[in-house]
Every structure is written in structure tokens, then in C-alpha cells.
Structure 1
Amino acid sequence: MRRYILIGLIAGLVIVAGAWFLVQKGKLEYAFVPSNKQTVNHEQNSSQIKIMSSKEETGSDQQIELGKKLFFQETFGNEVFFTDVLGMFDGPFTLGNVAKAIIKLRGEGTNNLQVEAAKEFHLGDIQIKKGELIDTGLDVAKGSVTPLGVKVVFDEGRLKAGISCAVCHATVDNKGRVIEGVPNNDLNIGLSLAMGTNTAAYFSHTEMKNIKDYVKVVNRTVETSDGKKEALPDPDTFEQFVDSEVLKWPLGSNDTTIDFKNNPVQIPDSMTLGDQPYGWSGQGQVGPFKGLSAAINNAHAQNMDALSATEISGPVLKIDKEVYLGTALQNAANPKYRYDYRSKEKPTEFFAKVDPTPGVAGVNQLIPASTFPRASFTTTVGLFSSSPGYDTWEQLNAMSAYMNSLQPIHTGLDNNKDKYEEGRKTFINAGCISCHGGTYLSSNKVIKSEELGTEPFRGKALKGHTKFFAEPSKYADHTPVPLPENPKIEQIKLTDKEREQLNIAWAMGESNGGYKTISLFNLYWSAPYLHDGGVAVGPNMELGLTNTLMKGKKADPYNSLKAMLDSKLRRKVIDSNSKSSKLRTAHITGEGHTFWVDESTGFTKEQQDALIHYLLTVTD
């Protein structure tokens, strides 16, 4: 049964008036899905771009429509992890105050929802007082009662919220209209997580040398998988450590790998057609939609539910799964999910009794992959995001079809044909076309880190997974969820050329990894630049992240692109970044990709200016 009802009294407070929830399967839930009239993309689909796509990259209108709906509202149940386990909304950042902030908009939109702090938060140089406004970077469309990509659920007698693709990969313009697929490059992910009460559950995304360094009381032990006793870290000390790590992430960035290196990458755009391989290191190459579905799965199955890594924590993270799960749950926000070492139960035994999705690691709606428990080129944790009632891959493929349907947005910059043509000639003469040629201005290859010279840690972040690897395979098409007994499994064959690229992308063997050659579409919308987002220059030539995003100022696309091309300006940006201890220890430098188009390589300032104009307007 589906109908709409008003949110009433929650925990004794009226937290929102006029917001509606969809009643579905006994749960009250709502997420905003924009109509075509509410999106900029619908009005500005470019007719000047010749789309050269294969059947492997496109979907039916019905599949694309489903993909759009899922892109904006599908969380695969991660509201349990973010609300009940991590406690994102139990600290200064509460759902009640989010609702109050939206009410204050009076129906208008915003690209930075300012939320009143419900309590104080102090850590390092972050000092937030109760009642102070927090810049969240959350976007709210005109007329919406929830932020983009945030699904609100009333379940088990409490209000919860989860996150869909749109929270990171959509934004709004100054009229409150939704721009689909454009990165939310001022989203304050690190601060939002740090204000949670059990951010420690996200500890695999930190620069942690040894979990034993955080043990204070040796009798707080769990029984490990091999019957030994091992102590859990001190909850308070460990929480402060994890909080301090995620606070290092610049706006619009987050760490997406579990390798105990703090490697935040900037949020990419989701206008994905022609931009394969997927993921900054190019790991998304295998499976439907040229690997895009696998890349989407990595975002949901791994990064939206840290508990999903329980079964791989031993071989990949070198932490026994009982210690891993006990650490993540020992301070869970909801007492239902809070593990007590004094119970003498193993954490896995405790979790099995409260797991909302029994039979599979994690709290999200996941199914074991055909290689489970081993990882493969299609899944980093040996699991796939898939909800009951769908076929395996169906939801992921629908989102892939939708993302591939998104066209670049007009920039609104001057249409100077002479400058554009001069820039195109410079693009060719400077050799940019050797890597960024073709329809989508990309060679669609992964380049070794050593060749690019960029900050190398992120490129080799998947090496640990390859030590617990299986040959890629998949369930046969139309295999339903829940999985039947003995589902049919099909092997995925790879060519030698594909394996060579995958070896680089996944840092297999002696490889130190690499980074994909990105498409040069959408550069106007995706500043700052490089995988670490380190090439940032403000509208008034503020240099580096230290003087732009870290001070609440957006990176200017023209000036930041100039720093990509001008050797002297880049040096100043790198020097500015190096002054921040946060950036240094989060491996953000802005170094590499030293392909200059300036006086040092024989080009004039006019040619450089024309090249920047060409790169920014190439899809207009």
C-alpha cells in the first residue's frame, strides 16, 4: 500500500511540518526524486555532441527511468549503518536540526544547507559551539523537504537517514534546479562523519599503523577466530583518532579505499558515457557497462557499510574479523547494535542475532558474489548490492544506464569561436591529444603512477585485495534475489590486454598502481583537479586548497585549469598545499601530470588562455 502521511511528533518534538513519507513495506520512507521540469539537464541536453555508444553502454528508456529513481533514493538500507551504527545524527548534526534548516528555506533551494549545531564539537582546530551554523554542503532543491540524496526512514520506532548516489553526484543551481551528475564539490563529508558518535566504525579509511596502539585496558578482550584472546581498542581514544583522520578530508572529497592509508579523492562527475575505465585508479573495467556497474557497487557495498568488510578483514586488513566487528560495534549509536565485550559472546555471534540482513556480512542489502568470500575485479569485498525482488545486477545496471544517459551541461561561458579554434589547435600542438583524443577526449587507459608523477598512494590502494582474489565470474542473467540454491555461475573471460590494464589499476604483483586517463568533458563543473583535488586556485587567485576549500571558498575552474598547465603557478599551488599538515598526512599535494603549456614549452599566454577556453567549453 502506498500513500502519503505527514510526519508527526518524533521523540517529543515536531521536527518537520509538511514533509511527506512514502509508506512502503511497513516502513515510512521518503527521498526526493526530481521531475524532468526540476532538472537543468532536461532543458540543456546538448545536441552538439555526437554520441558514439554501443549497446553495452546504453539502456532502454524504462531502465534509464528506473536508474534515475534509484540514483536519487536507493540506499540499499545504509540508514542502519549511518544512523544506528555510526551515529551520524546523534551528535551536533541532528535530523531535527536538518529539518529546521530546510523549513527556514521557505521552499527555496540551496547548495549549502546551514544546520544549527545541537551541541558543541571540539577537535583540533575545529571548534563548533552549540547553536552555531554548520556548513554542510548538502544541496536542497527548490520545493524539496529533504536534501538531495538523503533518504529519511521511520523504522523500529526511530527516525533514520541513509545516503544515495545523489548526495555526492548531483547539485543545484542558483534557481534551486537539480543538475544531475555534477559533483557536489563543497560537500563536507569528513565533518559530517566526525560529528557522529561512533565514527570509529569507519576506521578502515584512516592512516592507522596498528590497532593495538589504541588498547588501554588489556582485559577488554574478544575471542578471535582461532580461539585466542585479543583486546579491543579504547572506545574514546580510538574515536578521537578516527575523527581526526576524516577531518583531514577537503570539501568534496572522501576516502574510498580500505587500506589503512588516508587517501581522499575528490568526488567525480557521473556523466559516465565514454569515460571508462571507472574509478580514479581505473579499477572498474570488468562486468556490465564496461565495469561501471562494478564501480557503483564498490561505492555502495564497501563504502556505505563498513561492516561489509568483516569477512575480508583478516586476509586484506590483517585484523581478525572478531576484532574488526567488535571494534566497529562496541560504541554503536543504537544499543541494539552495540557489542559488549563482557557478554563473552564473539562479535559475530552477537551480530548474527541483530543483523537486519541475516546470512551476509554487513547491514546493507547485499548478496554474496559468485566469488564470495573472495574479492575479484568486480567486487572489493566479495559482495554485491542488490535488493529482494530484483535480479542480481538489475539495480546497479539501471543506475549505469541512467548515468550513461546524462549529457554535459552548458557552461554559459562566452561562445568565442576564434578563441575556441585557437585553443583546439593548441590542444593538438601541445600533444594533449595523445592521451585525450577521441570522441570523449580520453584514451580510456590506466597510466602507471610513475609516468604521471601524481601522489602515488591512492594508485596502489587495492593491492591488499588482490591477495585474497578469485578469477572474475558472475551469476547468469536474470538470477533473482534472494538467490536460489546453486545459482548458475558464468566465468568472465579476459584478454591479455585487459589483464595488463587491470594489473596496473589493481596494483597487482610488482605494480605500484596507476590512474585512469579521464575524459576532459565537464571540466567546468569538476574543479579542483587531479585525483587528489590538489590543484585548486580561487576566483581571486587564492592558491591551493589551504586558501580555497579549506577556507570555504570554491575553486575557480579557469584559474585551476591554468595551474594544471602553467609550471610556475602549479609550483605555488603545491607549495601552498605543503604548508598544511592535514593535507600532507592525507596524501594531498597537487603534484604530477607535468605536461605544461606555457612559456617553458614555447607557448604564449594567449595560446594558454585559448586552450583553457577550449577545455571549458568543448561540450557547449
Structure 2
Amino acid sequence: MMKKHKWLAAFAIIAILAVIGYITVRHLEPEYVYMPPKEKVISKEKRVHGYDLWGAFTPDKPAPAEEGAVKVDDRLLDLGRETFYKETFGNEVFLTDIIGLLDGPITAANMTKAIAGLKGKGTTNLRIELAETVKVGGKIFKKGEKIDTGIDVPKGAYAPLGMPFKYADGKIKAGISCAACHAAVDPKTMKVMEGVTNSDLNTGLMLALATNSAAYFTHAEIDNIQQFMNDKSPVITARNGKKERLPDPDRLEDAVDRIFLKWPRGFFDSTIDMKSNPTQIPDAYTLGDHPYSWSGSAMAGPFKGLTVFSNNVHAQNSDSLSQAPASRALFGMSEDVYIGTILQRAPVSTYRYQPKKKESPTAFFKKADPTPGVPGVNQMVKPPNYPNITLAAPDGVLVSSPGRKVNEENNAVSAWQNTLRPPDPRQKNDSQTVRRGRRVFEQAGCISCHAGRYLTNNKVISVEKIGTEPTRARSFKKTENIFGKSLIHSPDTPVPLPRKPKILKVPTAGFDPEQIKLSWAQGDSKGGYKVPSLIGVYWRAPYLHDGGVAVGSSLKETGLPKTVIKGKQADPYNSLLAMIDRDLRQQVVKSNSESPDLKAVRVTGKGHEFWIDAKSGFSEQEQKALIHYLIHADMPKK
């Protein structure tokens, strides 16, 4: 009987939080987040205890924290898993109070209603009914219409995977944890696959439907903020007394919405270069896949740079305000204009900047800031070289929760991600075909880049050689003027920081200067892309650095317009075939080129022209064997 009515809790959970918060413990902040028990997870963990010292792991040689060592034990790994599912570092403030994720046609009530409608069965695509009719990005979305969010809800869960809900300040707020993007529900069992990309998460649509998408303008296509300013634009007095203008809030909002609506499902633009160049969300099978990030920019510090990469999501991508100190160098605007632009449409009055009140945006935000003393609204600390950007802190700040140690959660989730192994592919394994495919892999020369036990040479390749989307490769270019030495606080440093914290120099002398130039597009470099590991490649279709190589279950379903954009999954086998067969790739590129939306967000499917097809002397059987090998190239055992 309890199982039969268990789904009722889904409908009631948010309401309960609200009632409890409003009536009895409003000074507290009750919250609900789903973290699946191990029996409800399709996952492989291989835990190894030891010490990480600047990326060098030793299982049996203790090293002190004051030298930079991170102790990896079950306590840290358990914290990493908990961080993966639960930790937001306070980003519900930015997402809910500033972007307005739940203040437009998507509401907490309608999201709860959609979950209740599942009756505990779970889904890979939570369809939410819109609460009002709106015109967004030139399109009409009608009240009562159900949209595909791609949000996953595991069987028996009362909240979306990776979306903690909190009742605070008299309202329900939603945050984002790692699991929203880097875990997925298996459509057959409705269990959670840890580390698998949420390949249909509709981030662009949900951001566009928020009431202040303009707060995320650096991720859109904004060539020059001046184009949104005229004689009627809001006037502010900056803290230096200078009169400046903010962009027209409605015009900027419309421009940002139009771009976000063009993002394919399962894609996200993590760069803040004011260019629209989203790519597919990566998986979380990280062991051996260093350096991290699309360009390999996360290379220094603990876990071979994985801690730096983990930090990026919460230090930058879920809090645009954190980049305010670098706004002049990165975006060509004063800190006041930058903050005012982000806050002038905020749905919550606490954070809504009003130029008519004659207060500078920086002064206004200082009074509203829930985390005084650090940039932005998320829980962060300033690295020793703040506000400079460094190899150890490419975002200029580090997320760290009060009561923890500096970078503790980032280190924990990095250590835990390195234990993950991909689930078994849904295609049967044939050991003889795998061996034949390995021989083709070597004969075709793939091993020159995708080498070693993790099928990567851990190098960055120039964008000219790869031939893929160029703007993303040089997205870090403007950081060169504010680049500093890599210093970091000792990992045993408490948060908040003490008056004289111990500062360590991060070892970088062993890095190839040319690789750094490629990763960061420094000097005369046009940037590059990191050679990714092919472990778990089955779970990360579509492929290539722009995510443009997609083929459906039929070879006639070529390109994103015939697959992802229609809500169809890219087939791993057929999409990998398009990576190596030039004729099939040509069809993919042609299909993508016929979509104005994909052209606007620079998704082409071009590049990586290393063919293994008939014109290169390989048979169809050899192609099949190679793909079979790639699909079943599981993590090698030690």
C-alpha cells in the first residue's frame, strides 16, 4: 500500500518545504535533494586509497597537506559522491533569484506537478507544463504547453536528478549540482548511470524561458555590448563618479534568448567569450584523461588539473557575477556596467538593480551580496593571486563551503570521479572482433594520438591541424593580460580563510610551454583542442569538439537536424562510423549546414579528417571491427 501511494510524496515534497519554512522554521532553510542508494545505481567504482601530490598518485607513501598533498580515502571519496549529487555552493541564488529560472513559464509548482504525474516511475525527460503564455526570442510559448526539458528523474525520486530544492527567503529555489549534467537515468531500468552524459538536457530552452537570461549574456553571441546602448539606455553613476550607460535590458534579453533557443539538446556553452559556441556536455570518466577541459587548460594542481576543471562549473558557469573583477580585461566594460547589466532584470528585488536610484551597481550589490568578501554570490574563496587568472585558478576564484577546507569539495569530487568506470555498452561484446578492431586502430594510425592505457596521448593539438570549430579554441585569449603565477592555499586551510593562510607554489615547471600556449591561445597561437580519452566513448555521442557528428539509428538520419534537434538520440555506432567514413561525414556536414540555428551557434561537424574507409584502403568489415573495439574499450585493469 505504501508503494502504491509513494508517488504522493512527490507532489507534496515542495509544498511541505514551503509550509515548514513559512510557518515554523523560516529562519532555517529546509531542502530536498535526491542521492540514489548504491542499489539504484548502474555504476562501477574502483576505489584506490593513497595520496595525490600535484597530480602524482602514490597508494602507499604518505605526504603532508602542508606540501600540497590530498589524502584519498573513503571519507574523501564519500564526500566526493555527496558533492556530485548535492552540492550547489549556493548557486540557487544566481539561478533562481537573478536569472529567474522559476519566475517565468517554468514554475516550481508545475515542475512538482510534472514529477507527481510520473507516479514514482521516473523519466529521462521531464515534460513540464508552462504556467503562462510568453513570447521569448521571437517565439510564442503557450500556457498549458508541455516542453521537453531533458531533466532526468530516477524511479522513486521526488526531485530531478542533480537539482536540489531549497526553501529560503520565503520562496522555493532550485540549484544545480554536478549530477544534473553528468549523470543520467537508464531508460530501461530507471536507475542512475553515474558519469554518463545527460544527452538531452535542454539547457538552452530552460535558460531562454528564464526571466533574466541576459544575466548569462557572456555565453551568448554578443559582439559588442555597445550595440544595445542608445540615448534612451539606462544611465548609471559608476563608483568613480563617471556616468556610463547600461544596455537596453529588453533588447539584450531578446538577443540572448534567441541564441539560447538555438542550442541543441544536451549542449552547453561553458565559455565566456561572448561567442556562441556550445558543445555537447562531457561525461565524467576522468581517470587518465588529463589535461582537462576542451582545450586542456586545466592541467595544474591536484589530480592533474581535474580539481581546476571541477571548480569551473560553480566558480564561473553558475555565477556570472564571479567574473566582475575581470570584466574590463575579459569583456571590455567596467565592473559597474557588468554588474548592472546582470542585475537590472533580476526577478527578486533584493538583487534587482534600478538605475533611477542613483546608486552605483557595485555599491548596490555590496549591500545585497549573500557572500561578502568574495566575488559573486556563490560560496568561494580568493586564491593568493586574486584577481589574476592562473593555471591553478582559471576562473580567478575557488568554490569552497564555509566549514570545509579550501578546495575540499573540488578535490573530493575529482577523486571520486576518477573511481568511475563506464557502464557496459548495450551492444554485445565479441572478443575476436575487438582484437581485429584493435589491429585496425593501430594500422590506421589512430594510436599516434589516442595512445596508451586510456587511449589518449594527453596532448593538445592545434586547431589548424584538427580543423574543427575555431572560436572555442581561442576563447581564453583575453585572459593573457591578467595571467599570474600559480599559487594556491594549502589543502588543509580552513574556510573562511585565516588571517595568514599557508600559500603554496603549484609546480608548473614541467609543463611544455607550447602546450600552455595552445591551451590558452596565448601569443600567436590560435588555440587547440585536447585529445580526449576514448574510454566510455559509447556513452558520449554525438561526437567531435563541436558535437556536430550525429547519426541516428538509420544511416539516413544524418546530422543534428535529423537526430538531436528532433529529440532523437544519436546512435553511438552510426555516429562513430561518421567520424571515420568521409562519405557519411559529408552527409552529416551537409545536413548541419542546412540549419540556420546550428550555423548561428557554430555547430558544423567538420574537422578531424582522419579517414578509415574504402578510399583509404579499409573494408566495411574493418570499419565495423574498429567501431566494435572503440565501443568495448573499457578501462584497463591495473
**Matched-pair contact (CA < 8 Å) for 1:473–1:490:** yes
Compared CA separation, residues 456 and 341, structure 1 to 2 (3 A)? same
Q: What is the identity, as a one-letter code, of the residue corresponding to 1:552?
A: G
Q: Classify the secondary structure of the residue corresponding to 1:490.
A: strand
Match of 1:3 in 2: none
**AA of the residue aligned to 2:334:** D
Gaps of 5+ in 1: 1-5
Residue 572 of structure 2 is aligned to residue 557 of structure 1: yes
Structure 2 Cα separation of the partners of residues 511 and 561 of structure 1 = 30
Structure 1 residue 424 corresponds to structure 2 residue 435: no
What corresponds to 1:250 in structure 2? 264
SS at match of 1:484: coil
Could you tell me how far apart the structure 2 residues matched to 1:272 and 1:338 are? 39
1:522 — aligned with what?
536
Q: How does 1:211-360 map to 2 (within 5 A)?
A: 211-218=225-232, 220-224=234-238, 226-360=240-374
Map of 1:448 onto structure 2? 462
Task: Specify the code of the residue in structure 1 equivalent to 2:42.
Answer: V
Separation of aligned partners in 1, 2:412 and 2:13: 34
Give the one of 50, 54, 57 matched to 2:57. 54
Contact 2:56 2:304 (C-alpha < 8 Å) held by counterparts: no
1:386 and 1:481 in contact (8 A); partners too: yes
Separation in 2, partners of 1:524, 1:266 = 14
Describe how 1:130-529 pairs up with structure 2 within 5 A: 130-173=143-186, 174-218=188-232, 220-224=234-238, 226-495=240-509, 497-529=511-543
CA deviation map 1:35-66 (0-9, x unaligned)? 11110115x9799xxxx993389821111111
| Distance in 2 separating the partners of 1:45 and 1:287 | 22
Opposite residue 34 of structure 1, the aligned amino acid is: P
Give the distance between the partners of 2:114 and 2:222, measured in 1 at CA: 36
- What is the CA-CA distance between 1:244 and the residue it aligns to? 0.8
Residue 98 of structure 1: aligned partner: 111
- Give 2:64's aligned residue: none
AA at the equivalent of 1:40: I
Residues 442 and 517 in structure 1, CA contact (< 8 A), matched pair in contact too: yes
Q: How far apart, CA to CA, are the structure 2 residues paired with 1:455 and 1:415?
A: 34
Extract unaligned runs of 5+ from structure 2.
Answer: 1-5, 49-54, 59-68
Task: Report deviation, 1:118.
Answer: 0.9
Give runs of aligned pairs for residues 61-140 of structure 1, distance below 5 A: 61-123=74-136, 126-140=139-153
* Partner of residue 34, structure 1: 36
- Retained in 2: the 8 A contact 1:536–1:555? yes
Kept in 1: contact 2:393–2:486 (CA 8 A): no
- What is the count of residue pairs matched by the alignment? 607
Kept in 1, the 8 Å contact 2:26–2:168? The answer is no
Is contact 1:58–1:401 with CA below 8 Å preserved after alignment?
Answer: no
Cα distance in 2 for residues equivalent to 1:313 and 1:426 = 49
SS at match of 2:612: coil
Deviation string 1:184-220 (CA, Å, 9 cap, x unpaired) is: 0100000000000001000111111211211244462
Q: Provide the secondary structure at the position in 1 that maps to 2:429.
A: coil
Contact 1:574 1:591 in 2 (8 A): yes
Distance in 1 separating the partners of 2:89 and 2:528: 30
Residues 499 and 226 (structure 1 numbering): CA distance in 2 closer, same or farther, change over 3 Å?
farther
Report if aligned partners of 1:211, 1:233 keep a CA contact under 8 Å in 2. Answer: yes
User: Is the Cα contact below 8 Å between 2:212 and 2:347 reproduced in 1?
Assistant: yes
Deviations 1:429-471 (A, max 9, x none): 0011111111111101111111111111111101111211111
Of all paired residues, the percent bearing the same amino acid is: 47
The superposition leaves residues 549-571 of structure 1 with CA deviations (integer Å, 9 ceiling, x where unpaired) of 11111111011000000001111
Q: What TM-score results when the alignment is normalised by the length of structure 1?
A: 0.94
The answer as to whether partners of 1:113 and 1:140 remain within 8 angstroms in 2 is: yes
Could you list the per-position Cα deviations for residues 483-526 of structure 1 after superposition, in whole angstroms to 9, with x for gaps in the alignment? 01132211223225433312211111111111111011111110
Which whole-Å CA distance do the structure 1 matches of 2:612 and 2:450 have between them? 15
Distance in structure 1 (CA, Å) of the matches to 2:489 and 2:289 = 26
TM-score, with normalisation over the residues of structure 2?
Answer: 0.91
For 1:41, give the aligned amino acid. Answer: S
CA contact (8 A) 2:46 2:419 kept: no
**SS of equivalent residue, structure 1 residue 319:** coil
Amino acid at match of 1:600: K
Q: Structure 1 CA distance, aligned partners of 2:402 and 2:137?
A: 44
Counterparts of 1:332 and 1:15, CA distance in 2: 27
Partners of 1:616 and 1:58 lie apart in 2 by 34
Report how far residue 378 of structure 1 moved. Answer: 2.2
Please report how far the alpha carbon of residue 610 of structure 1 lies from its aligned counterpart in structure 2 after TM superposition: 0.9
Measured on the aligned residues, the alpha-carbon RMSD in Å equals 2.5
